[in-house]
Structure 1
Amino acid sequence: MNQFEFRRVLGGFCSGVTVVTAMADGVPVGMTCQSFFSLSLDPPLIAFSPSRSSTSYPRIRSSGSFCVNILEAGQEELCRQFARSGTDKWRDVPWRPGVTGSPVLDGVLASIDCALERDLETGDHYLTIGRVVALESTPDRRPLLFFNGAFERLPAA
């Protein structure tokens, strides 16, 4: 098995797309992340897996809290904006502080505000576990999905 085959096979698993945000030294920081999942109901825990090469993640980790913003269909450009390095990711992005102070992005499908519970090095990524302290959603919206290397949308109901 090689990395190409590994990526090809796992790319066939459809995932949602998130932007993980935090406040680090009074400045908003964020990154796109599609490796996100629910981990536990009791206590309420979620997890995501940022790359160890990420320049944004160390700042998110140092803040001690973060918000997972689940993107809705139509937010492809927002996803791309937070995936870029070396640019102003926050240009023209409206947001408000969540319970932890982490940015909640306007217009997202859902937001999950968390305290950092644990962070583990796992291969070329981290496994970051967050204890949920607040969440909200807009159930009538559709999620932005990623499948086989491209954005996808669910058909209209």
Structure 2
Amino acid sequence: MLTDVGDSSQLSGPDAARFRAVLGHFPSGITAITSRDAQGRPVGMTVASFTSVSLTPPLVAFLPGKTSSTFPVIAERGTFCVNVLAADQERICRALSVSGGDKFAEVAWLPGPHGDPVIDGVVAWIGCTVEAVHDAGDHYIVIGRVDDLDADSTASPLLFFKSRYNHLTSA
């Protein structure tokens, strides 16, 4: 049962630094959300806030910040590819995290189902069409309808935990 929690603007909460520090204790995979601009050039951004949403229909979500200069380009195109980065792709993660410049200068990729970049060596890729965009504080919640996907069952993911890059180790 859903309940109304009232006007959230009246609630006070922790400051942003504490919020980030505590939530940093939740490990997440790192994805590169890629697309193409109006001239066909590859664009991309790294996002740790990615999740599956629904099996029927197949939906996923990612949460870009409202200050992102890349997300408006992705939204205008209407398609994107989620690339789940592998443990050895920290360099790619850093390249796609910066603002401006040719982020793909040293990133090998092939066009996916909609022509959006599928980065070589990723753990998995998920080609999507933008289904909906919702306002969420200083971020958006972007729902994507999954059109195609694939995975490399031998690859290990790049993880983010306590503000550091990590990877899985075998016991």
TM over 0.5: yes
2:46 is matched with which residue? Answer: 32
1:125 and 2:139 matched: yes
- Counterpart in the other structure of 1:16: 29
Does residue 92 of the first structure (1) align with residue 144 of the second (2)?
no
Distance 1:124 1:140 in 2: 36
Runs of 4+ more than 2 Å apart: none
- In structure 2, what is the Cα distance between the partners aligned to 1:24 and 1:87? 14
Identity %: 48
Aligned residues: 157
Counterparts of 1:1-157 in structure 2, within 5 Å, are 1-25=14-38, 26-156=40-170
| Whole-Å separation in 1 of the counterparts to 2:107 and 2:167 | 22
AA aligned to 1:21 is T
What TM-score, normalized to structure 2? Answer: 0.90
Q: CA deviation at 1:5?
A: 1.1
What RMSD, in angstroms, separates the aligned Cα atoms of the two structures? Answer: 0.8
Query: Which protein has the bigger strand share?
Result: 1
Q: Which shows bigger deviation, 96-105 or 48-57?
A: 96-105
3-state SS of paired residue (1:12): coil
Read off the aligned partner of 1:34 and give its amino acid letter.
Answer: A
**Displacement of 1:65:** 0.4
TM-score (norm 1): 0.97
Give the gaps of 5 or more residues in structure 2.
1-13
Q: Give 1:4 shift.
A: 1.2
Mark the runs of 5 or more structure 1 residues left unpaired by the alignment.
Answer: none
